[in-house]
Structure 1
Amino acid sequence: MVNDLIDEHDLDFVAIMETRRGGDKACDVMKKIKLKGQYKVDTVGYRGGIWLFWRDDRFTVDVLLADLQFIHAKVKTVGGSVSFFTAVYCSPDLVLREEALGKLVDIGKEVNGPWIVGGDFNAYVFCDEKVGGAGWNRRSMESFAGCINECGWIDLGFNGSKFTWERQGLKERIDRCFSNSDWRMGNSEASVFHLFSRKSDHRPIVLRSGTSRKVDRKKRPFRFLASWLLDDRFKDFIKESWQSGEGWNFAAKSFTDEVIKWNKEVFGNIFKEKQRLRGRIEGIEKALAQHDRDHLRKLQGRLWKERGLRIRPLRKMNSAMLMKLGWRLIDDKDSLWARVIRAKYHCGNDLIPIVKNKMDGSCVWKSICGVWNEMEQGLRWNIGDGSKVNFWRDRWIPNCPPLMDLECSNPEQRNFEDLVTSFARDGQWDMIKLRCWFSEEVVRKIAAVPAPRSDLGADKVVWGLNPNGKFSVSSAFRMEANQDSGGEPTFWKKVWKWPGPQKFKSFLWLLSKERIFTNLRRFERRMTDDLLCPLCRAHSESALHAVRDCVEVKSVWMMIVKPSCWADFFNCNMKEWISMNLSKNLGKSEYGDWKLTFVVCAWRLWWRRNKFIFQNQREDKGHVFWEVLFRSREISEIWCKTSDEKMKKGLSKAEIRVGWEPPDMDWVKLNVDRAVEKEGKNAACGGLLRDSSGTWLKGFTFNIGECGVLEAELWGLLKGLEMAWDYGCKKVHIEMDSVMALNVASGTCSSPSLMASFADRIREFLKLEWEVRFTHAFREGNKAADLLAKEGLSRSLGACVLALPPRFLSTALLDD
């Protein structure tokens, strides 16, 4: 939204008030703003915050004084002229506001030159600048007017709606721009515009000095819009409009003219559509300023939704389409187009081209350069012989950035030209060498990737966001959308998939958004002067304090949370806290399903707080504790019963005999399985060989490291084949309970794929001089392999070959 304002109005300076974000979160948001000159004043809790942006190629800004309520700076243009600018956000609290106004008066006495002051003063000067609510605040009006007179400010007026702030029928003009006489005399044509509000109670205000740098859009070069390709009518249009019988220049010129006309008349000009929607919204804003009508409010909301759905995703879609062109430089590098581009821009002969922006580059090349960093995040190497994969710079570990971005021992000794083959020996990773460089967590991720082998094929580049390893626009679009949302879609899925009644889900959603009506939220809405928690009267009552940190509720949590988890439980922000409790089991085992107990407890503690406020009853903590346990078990029983009934209604079942079947005479049977702990932090596999009489021949367990379910299944199959060959088997019947792994092994899955490294190694074994056949087994008939895989989770990294059956397996072997 801020970037849209910068583009629409060609802004040199932007000041954002009441940001309510500080620290690293503020820095992450500020990086997305186009203006690279930046300065910020952090928030105090959720209050205040000022961000200042400017064009660093046109201005030099020296911040002279930064206060919680204003930033005062000296501005020097490229031409050498000097002026002063003060961005103001005055506190809603009258005492603090008067303190800030007094400081501004002191600054005014020292300013010698042109001076602009603007921002949110949280005060009005005249009675007609407020409509609705209680009466006028005379003291506030007098102190503000006194500051204006002492500083010698001139109100620069406004164009547009009179009121700059509005909430629930209350309207005020509290945002404005002033200047001193020196600045006004040099900028007599300057004017202030009140724009329509965007996602805020405040209207943005724009100060124009009288000169503007308008771009003549008619002189812009023709640009092919990637969004045209999404329209089914575009292919037919190309066939009809392209004059293949004429020369290239004539055909291209005539097509350009026709497609511009088609864009306006058929497809629709997105820029004009954006202007049309903005014009309608501004018209509604003006009408609402005169007469508040419900139907206008509904129309305003509908237009904002339409504007967001029809315009904003097009940027992400355009980036995804440009990534498709970038992918062609890799996947289709021998085509004429790719060879021309690679030669023209000196991209090199490597599989992944060198992409650098150039001043004289074409629009297409500059666009590809603009999305290449995002493009690289989706690329991944499948290791074959390891001759092309750089150990430090390339992405070859699933769900992991390049190793050069991770912490390691002796970073100054890294050789960034090392290939992955430098860290492997005889087809195995050199674990001693890896542990000298990295922590055990990183080593486990590396160990889960098959090591390079010289007898395998060349390394391959795949698209890591698609299971089949091939690029798709939809996966690139999802990547762009997830980057903007910071991974939030996954979090909200956890919230709405919580297994319980709707009222608890709704409460969980409100809690995640921190929208429960605590005293802090009521204070921010100017509904109360009391910030303190009603139970402890020691701290301001935020949402997190109300349901977790207050001493009156903390003791309840300590009754049901494992003592070993207290440090993590009580030391994170709201979303991290909820996400952690919906993903991990932090509760004591005797208290049932933790996801259910956690949400019920949070809801019950909030209900207890409200009961104290509205009925003046302080419930005993022990009573709350037992009611939480009782209610969560009751919900669990009812919910499970309901789910079982739905399953019985929706499915017709037939009983079949499931068990381990011995192989044919002269054959041996290999059963393999995997075990993966939550989130793939620890994975293992196991397997065993038995003859036609069911006699144990050999077995293994293998702690893989950190990987997904399918990778663990394929590791089990690979290790099982290796064990069977080493044992001297010539006829092997393999059983496993993963259909997907069987498809990869048999070549049903298309290649290249994310599993190509495993598939190549498995097929190498299948080419040997022996007979191998595969069948799918139900999990109930694969118990012995399952137990061996689970045993591997508790072992150290690496494989363990078992010549004799372990004791824990005796019951499963007898059952078979």
Structure 2
Amino acid sequence: MLAKGGWRLLQDKESIWRQILLSKYGGQRADLDVLRKVQGSSFTWSSFSKAADLLKQGCAWNIRNGRRTKFWSDPWVLQVPLKDLVTGDMPEDADEAMVANFVRADGSWRIELLSGRLPPDIISKITSTAVDTISQEEDSLFWAPAADGRFSTKSAYALLTKQDQQGTDGVWKEIWRLPVPERVRCFMWLAFQGKLATNVLHFQRRVAESPCCQRCTEQPETVLHILRDCAPAAYFWCRHVPKQKQHEFFSDSHEVWFHKNITSKEISTGIDWPGFFSMASWLLWKNSTTASFKGLSAALSASSLTQSIVTKTKLWDDSWHAPELFLNHKRKPVERVAAEIGWTPPLEGWVMLNTDGASNGNPGPAGAGGLVRDSTGRWLGGVVANLGYATAVLAELWAICYGLDLVWNLGFRVVKIATDSKLALQLIQERHDHIHPHATLLSLIRRKIGQDWLVSLSLTYREGNRAADWLSKHSLVYPYGKYELADPPTGMIHLLQDDVRGITFERQIVANSPSLT
């Protein structure tokens, strides 16, 4: 939470409170170094400075014109400075060298200055970064752990604790998909985290005299004890868990026990085990709380509790599967129909630019490709680019960017662009602020689209974009850089001929969906 305040201090440039704090403690600087400890500073400033290390771990520089970010000592292509990865000799002016010093006027990278000083994989990541050599916009900080570059306490907490959530991600998803009432899902979510109000928890908070179970008197009352090991729970489970599995069932640790039962594919009394297990656990808990608040005599006996759990669980399961009672809890199946998909030529007087990006690993070695054709399918020009190391969406955006340059240079002013990347299209059409990780490249694309010409963006299926797909993969055989093609490569001529002949491929599409090219 302190880091969130520090993030606002770095970003909210118009805020009066920020201006006051910076004028008193930080001067006019607005980078990470401003959050330093100052002798005799206020409680607010001291609090922000405590979060400085966390912000430094998660923040990175978003390159715009490259004149503000130090190439070697600021985190920008990675979350560590490049000087920590140097394999050769550092240049003499390394401390003062800016990112802009390594970029040519056309935005391409001067990799001859990097070869021998950085590992090839790091150079590949650098070359896929866009730099706006025309813009006067300064570089800005963004929050690297978030996809949109915005700070969130959730991502900051994950970064701070460095927790590996991969093992439990499946459990959370299964909990929220359980075929049980919402209150039972919430209960299971708390139970899995060990956050139920047991005597152990009460004792830790000094609201109970003993951490022990009231029924057992000697065993600590943990979540696992109430739901599995206490006498009523053990009696119930012994009658529903097969004997050959009981030893494992009663010996598993807390997390393993929940994980196995929530993700199980077994069936008990005609009900899927995860739902049966969750309802039974909730009812066991309710019976335990009854004993705590009203006395042991008010709670059901082990045999009565077992019968009650089975009856209520079956009743709920029958209701859950009754469509006339619960129509909204299930997703309606998506209706799909068969359609013939192929390349669609542009209208007469227009040209069609098909683009595609490819990433072998996402992220991994990446390339971009695009081609321009007229209404008859005639090849007018093409472009390929070896991007280095990038994600698939970044490759798609570069393909559109280079494709726009190609069409403009060829002299066409009425163009339709077709891409099979829905995400790339959304990023271009939606407005994103300067902290988005792809803000520079998106800005370049929008500027090119805004030139004095008519440009139409559209989404196509892969079956209608085969030629561009071939070029994007073919681009990886070239050295790093962009290459315009006057003639089509021999290996793709058959694809161009198929498109001219109107060859189509069957595809299952969503019924009543907007038609794509």
Report the TM-score range of the alignment, normalised by the length of the smaller protein: 0.5 to 0.7
Residues in 1 aligned to 2:48 and 2:141: alpha-carbon distance in whole angstroms: 18
1:233-632 superposed matches below 5 A: 321-397=1-77, 399-411=78-90, 413-426=92-105, 427-481=107-161, 483=162, 485=163, 488-490=164-166
Question: Does the Cα contact within 8 Å between 2:36 and 2:52 map onto a contact in 1?
Answer: no
SS at match of 1:366: helix
Q: Partners of 2:493 and 2:172 in 1: how far apart?
A: 43
Question: Does residue 730 of structure 1 match 2:413?
Answer: yes
User: Residue type matched to 1:423 in 2?
Assistant: F
TM-score under structure 2 normalisation? Answer: 0.62
Given candidates 470, 476, 496, the residue that maps to 1:787 is: 470
Shift of 1:470: 2.0
Q: Is the 8 A contact 1:680 1:707 kept in 2?
A: yes
Report the AA paired with residue 767 of structure 1. Answer: G
Aligned residues: 340
Q: Distance in 1 between matches of 2:488 and 2:411?
A: 19
**Partners in 2 of 1:327 and 1:715 — Cα distance?**
30
| 2:460 equivalent among 760, 777, 796 | 777
For 2:34 and 2:79, how far apart are their aligned partners in 1?
A: 22
Q: Counterpart of 1:694?
A: 377
Give the RMSD, CA atoms, in angstroms.
Answer: 2.4
Matched, 1:801 2:481: no
Q: Greater RCO between the two (CA within 8 Å, min separation 6)?
A: 2
Question: Are 2:353 and 1:674 aligned?
Answer: no
Alpha-carbon distance in structure 2 between the residues aligned to 1:451 and 1:434? 16
Change (3 A) 1:494 1:741: same
List per-residue Cα deviations over 1:357-411 (Å, max 9, x = no partner).
13422333222222211112222222222221111222221x4422122123213
Residues 401, 806 of structure 1: alpha-carbon distance in 2 compared, 3 angstrom cutoff: same
| Native 8 Å contact 2:371 2:468 kept in 1 | yes
1:652, CA displacement in angstroms? 2.9
Give the Cα–Cα distance (whole angstroms) in 2 for the partners of residues 680 and 430 of structure 1: 22
Counterpart amino acid of residue 690 in structure 1: R
- In structure 2, runs of 5+ residues without a counterpart are 174-331, 500-517
Q: Is the 8 A contact 2:72 2:83 kept in 1?
A: yes
Alignment counterpart, residue 815 of structure 1, candidates 485, 498, 515: 498
Letter of the 2:452 counterpart: E
- C-alpha separation between the residues in 1 aligned to 2:359 and 2:170? 20
CA distance in 1: counterparts of 2:10 and 2:343, whole angstroms: 47
2:125 maps to a residue whose letter is K
Matched-pair contact (CA < 8 Å) for 2:26–2:34: yes
Conservation of the 8 A alpha-carbon contact between 1:456 and 1:760 = no
Displacement of 1:716 in angstroms is: 0.6
Summarize deviations over 1:239-274 as a string: whole Å, max 9, x none. Answer: xxxxxxxxxxxxxxxxxxxxxxxxxxxxxxxxxxxx
Q: Give the TM-score, by structure 1 length.
A: 0.40
> Secondary structure of the residue that 1:655 maps to in structure 2?
strand
Q: Which moved more, 1:711-720 or 1:461-470?
A: 461-470
The one-letter code matched in structure 2 to 1:338 is R
Cα distance in 2 for partners of 1:412, 1:814 equals 53
State the AA in 2 paired with 1:478.
A
**Distance (Å, rounded) in 2 between the aligned partners of 1:491 and 1:420:** 39
In structure 2, how many angstroms separate the alpha carbons of the residues matched to 1:346 and 1:415? 25
Structure 1: gaps of 5 or more residues: 1-320, 498-648
Q: What pairs up with 1:13-92 in 2 under 5 angstroms?
A: none
Cα pair distance change 1:781/1:441, threshold 3 Å? same
Aligned residue in 2 for 1:600 = none
Q: 1:783 corresponds to which letter in structure 2? A: R
Paired letter, 1:446? I
Deviations 1:441-481 (A, max 9, x none): 11101001013403353322222222222222222122223
One-letter amino acid of the structure 1 residue matched with residue 374 of structure 2 = D
1:715 to 390, 398, 410: 398
Query: Is the partner of 2:4 in helix, strand or coil?
Result: helix
Q: CA deviation at 1:726?
A: 1.0
Native 8 Å contact 1:420 1:452 kept in 2: no
Q: Deviations over 1:716-738 (max 9, x none)?
A: 11111111111111111000011
Distance (whole Å) between structure 1 residues aligned to residue 116 and residue 132 of structure 2: 20
Instruction: Tell me, in whole angstroms, the C-alpha distance in 1 between the residues paired with 2:20 and 2:497.
Output: 68
Please identify the structure whose Cα radius of gyration is greater. Answer: 1
Structure 1 contact 391–420 (Cα < 8 Å) conserved: yes
Partners of 1:480 and 1:416 in 2: CA distance: 29
Query: Does the Cα contact within 8 Å between 1:672 and 1:717 map onto a contact in 2?
Result: yes
